[in-house]
Structure 1
Amino acid sequence: MIVADARLPRELAGSVSAATRLLREHGLDVGDRVVLDPPARARWDVLAYLLAADRAGAASLVADPGWSERERAAVLADAGPDLVIPVGSDAADGPFPATRAVRGSAEPGPADAPFLLPTTSGSTGAPSVLARTRRSWWLGFDALGPLPGPALVPGPPSSTLYLFGALHALHHGLGLVTRDRFDPADARTAGTVHLVPALLSALLDDREHHPGHPAPRVIVCGGAHVAPAVRERCARLLPDTTLVEYYGSAEHSLIALRRNGGVLQPVDGVRLELRDGVLWVDSPQAVLGRLRGGVLEPAGPGATTVGDRAELHPDGTLTVLGRAATTISSGGTLVAAEEVEQVLRAVAGVADVVVAGTPHPSLGMMVTAVVEPRTGATVSRRDLRAAARDALSPAKRPRRWLVTGALPRLGSGKPARGVVGSGLRDGGLDAHPFDRRPAR
């Protein structure tokens, strides 16, 4: 079991027992794949069913209510589930409808069978379905180590970042508080809070307005790079809080950790290598493989890559430069979008920014910045340009500047790069030049 029965809070243990009975009534069997459909407004109701399916020897996929019909159809086609079960806060009282599907193909189960079918975030494309074992996350739980409770997990369980945080807390016997959305006030009573960088900025904004309130002892931040300016702001506003940053992926789980602004150090058991500047990872935390058309395509053995560019230093530490898929070829120069974003996030008033390429007749692609100001703040294009001029070579500096009230985001809180890119290409993005007010 991913979490031992003895470590479950009493109320959750009762919910797991009820969910186990219901899943068995609907024929769930060892080795089955089950899609759990949570309601949009109570997504963590799914946790008891995921733990129940795990106890039955089945593998769960937590659906995202925010998927489009096309994305959902693609995920189900790849997962090849045996059962698709709607989950609601009153599901235990019935009715409890379920759909039994027929796999397109069957394959022998591996010795260490999957308990979870996580989906990639879809930040740069459609989600894909992976297969993960219990052992792979146990190793990750140990790598992150025990943290102070209670643990606040303020995001959807369809995101592996938040689901990992919740199961990590249960594994270590911590109190667990789950929320579908982040409210900075909830963090005031937490021992540990799991966040993405955009939500960390929101927490720091709240701290500036309410400096006297209690603060979490630990902040665990993943999902994207934390800009140095945000790290410094966190140290200034929350001097007694430990900031733990991790670099990882849905495919490899935890790859490297940084604590309180130190170096990014690979976790035990993870072996890294560079091939033409791209990072390859050999890790016992890696997924079994990817599901396509209901069939598992094994990932290993050996190192695999998600296409991140990086630098490995003689002391074994790591610098991540960004995903190759987000690299912009502009005027013969390869521009890492994440590098430009880190510079611009340090500008006063900036909540978040996405850098993408837009077609240009002579440059090929033009570096374009879409900036989301903090609530109530005004961002100056002059300040943005000055920051780019001070930190970036001319070819890397944005030539097009847009501002938006809110970047499109995934359920995890990360910016939806694919949506931004397509919106820039077809004109559908709700953004406008800095020198022009939006239409009313």
Structure 2
Amino acid sequence: MSGAERETADDAAAPVVPAPWLPRGLADAVAAAGERLARLGVRAGERVVLDTPTRARWAVLPYLLAADRLGAASLLADAGWTGRERDAVLADAAPHHVVGTDGRAATADGGARTPGLFLLPTTSGSTGVPTVLARDRRSWRIGFDILGALPGPVLVPGPPSSTLYLFGALHALHHGLGLVTRGRLDPTDLPDGGSVHLVPAQLTALLDERRRRPGGPAPRVVVCGGAHVAPGMRERVARLLPGTTLLEYYGSAEHSLIATRRDDGPLRPVEDVHLTVRDGVLWVDSPQSVHGRFTRGALVPAGPGPTTVGDRAELTDDGGLTVLGRAATTISSGGTLVAAEEVEQVLRGVAGVGDVVVAGTPHASLGMVVTAVVEARDGVPDRRALRAAARAGLSPAKRPRRWLVTRALPRLGSGKPARAAVDAALRDGTLDAVPLGGPE
């Protein structure tokens, strides 16, 4: 990249991916989308909600890049939102335009414009209604450079409404890599010698397919985010994909990249990110942090200094990071605080487990009992293997006492389990799950 190009990229007003860096077909699509947005009256500083049909979600990418060139901030609607979630998001974002890639469009009085923003990401909604955040271009460019160039081409198999997949796509374009986008993971799409962005459930599916059908295309790098990768899964990657590097990262919609790990190395904070732990809760001071969040059309600034999303964590003496899970998902069982994510990490590595959600369910004497809802893959998981993993990886008070199995967990558009939906279904008895084996 020339010095002039780098100077342009570092200009806060320049598009997040300058036009000369785009492949010809995408550049033409961005130009056409820009013409349509201009005809609709989209102006700098305005907020635009972009809608796409479920069958063609990545048709939104040219519109996002075109809106960015006009100086507008985009919110990519999630086709998986409930009506209540969509209404809440639109009420907080108060968009000036709602534009569908299928030809629909509507204009509204969105109130005050908010210049300088390029993206309005939403929190995943895994534990409640999504929150609308405000991000500028510079915060993601920093992340692009921290993650560095990957081997191309790059496969991004998930919806762009999830920042995990959108970041992967824009990162590839930023580094001039070939980009392949899909709505879901199909192992036949894997770029031999390239890279792929996944969440742990997709990585499990990829490894299961590799076990059943050895050989075939294999990526040089698997980038995995969205949840912790258990040691057992890292071991499976090393065994089934021996020539593949596993690049795991921990981040959030609010802070972008926080820490990374390669293969079996420790999870460490990335450059210029400063971490502190107060009363067991992680606080993050990062140049990648969002500006704030929108409430009823008003931008509420995040303020200077460290912020937190409520993750519980520990810092080691040598600077390593151990993430224990969101405080909001902590289960109080018999006087012991149990991090749901910690239990999930241990159980995800068991053969036959596609994914797992751990929740608390009422108990007469313990208050709450640790309950594991296991998504089966290739038949029913072995309960003895699950219990053995729990004994090996968890103290007695943290081990599940109630085991349920389901064919499919409810999921968000990103592919992550919908934790709030599981909790609600457990409370009202509507979860499509059955007991796994006999009682404890």
TM-score tier (shorter): over 0.9
Q: Deviations for 1:214-255, whole angstroms, at most 9, x for unmatched residues?
A: 200110000000011000100111111111000000000000
**Is 218-227 or 183-192 further displaced after alignment?**
183-192
SS in 1 for 2:55: coil
Runs of 4+ residues deviating >6 angstroms = none
| Offset at residue 349 of structure 1 (A) | 1.5
SS in 2 for 1:194: strand
Counterpart position of 2:205: 202
Equivalence map 1:77-88=2 (5 Å) = 77-88=91-102
Q: Deviations for 1:168-218, whole angstroms, at most 9, x for unmatched residues?
A: 000000000000111111114460100000000111111112212120011
CA contact (8 A) 1:115 1:134 kept: yes
Counterpart position of 1:92: none
Q: Distance in 2 between matches of 1:251 and 1:126?
A: 15
SS in 2 for 1:428: coil
The percentage of counterpart residues that share the same residue type is 71
Counterpart position of 2:412: 410
Counterpart position of 2:90: 76
Counterpart position of 2:194: 191
CA contact (8 A) 2:156 2:196 kept: yes
Counterpart position of 1:61: 75
Q: Which runs of 5+ in 1 are unaligned?
A: 89-95
Q: Distance in 1 between matches of 2:75 and 2:227?
A: 23
Equivalence map 1:29-428=2 (5 Å) = 29-88=43-102, 96-103=103-110, 105-106=111-112, 109=114, 113-189=116-192, 191-374=194-377, 376-428=378-430
Q: Distance in 1 between matches of 2:170 and 2:265?
A: 26
Q: Distance in 2 between matches of 1:383 and 1:221?
A: 25
1:24 alignment partner AA: A
Q: Which runs of 5+ in 2 are unaligned?
A: 1-14
1:291 alignment partner AA: F
Q: 1:180 to 1:201 in 2, by over 3 A?
A: same
| Offset at residue 4 of structure 1 (A) | 1.1
Q: Distance in 2 between matches of 1:379 and 1:28?
A: 52
Q: Distance in 2 between matches of 1:199 and 1:275?
A: 33
Counterpart position of 1:91: none
| Offset at residue 378 of structure 1 (A) | 2.9
Q: Distance in 2 between matches of 1:322 and 1:27?
A: 44
Q: Deviations for 1:36-88, whole angstroms, at most 9, x for unmatched residues?
A: 00111000000000000000000000001111110000000000100001113
TM-score normalized by structure 2?
0.94
CA contact (8 A) 2:192 2:220 kept: no
SS in 2 for 1:41: helix
Q: Distance in 2 between matches of 1:416 and 1:167?
A: 25
SS in 2 for 1:303: coil
Q: Distance in 1 between matches of 2:394 and 2:79?
A: 40
| Offset at residue 262 of structure 1 (A) | 0.4
CA contact (8 A) 1:152 1:190 kept: no
SS in 2 for 1:310: strand
| RMSD, matched Cα | 1.2
2:106 alignment partner AA: T
CA contact (8 A) 2:310 2:328 kept: yes
Q: Deviations for 1:96-138, whole angstroms, at most 9, x for unmatched residues?
A: 33111112x526x46xx11000011001111110000000000
When the two structures are aligned, how many residues end up with a matched partner? 424
Q: Distance in 1 between matches of 2:117 and 2:57?
A: 22
| Offset at residue 281 of structure 1 (A) | 0.2
1:62 alignment partner AA: L
Counterpart position of 2:6: none
Q: 1:349 to 1:176 in 2, by over 3 A?
A: same
TM-score normalized by structure 1?
0.94
SS in 1 for 2:247: strand
Q: Distance in 2 between matches of 1:424 and 1:195?
A: 28
| Offset at residue 412 of structure 1 (A) | 1.1
